[in-house]
Structure 1
Amino acid sequence: MLWLELRCHNSQVHRTSLKIKILLKASFTYLSHQFIKVAYG
């Protein structure tokens, strides 16, 4: 029972970290695009 809960918790943590990674990548891409616009615009 405890093991099952632990596994469930782990998958939730994994999903959350995946979301954070995607968000970070997206915001980094957005910021670098803005920087290029400012630098070369």
Structure 2
Amino acid sequence: MTLNMRCDRDVVEAFKATGDGWQTRINDVLRAYAGSHRMLPGR
């Protein structure tokens, strides 16, 4: 899914500084948060 969202510049720059795959790492962080807060169905 493609998504447009607003983020703080320093946060995006920090992820970009990690190199290729930075958008996937943001997804991983969001998935971990959603999972730990029981926001995902069936988890």
Scaled to the shorter chain, the TM-score interval is 0.3 to 0.5
- Structure with the greater relative contact order (CA < 8 A, sep ≥ 6): 1 or 2? 2
TM-score by length of structure 2 reads: 0.41
What is the TM-score with the length of structure 1 in the denominator? 0.43
The structure that has the greater radius of gyration is 1
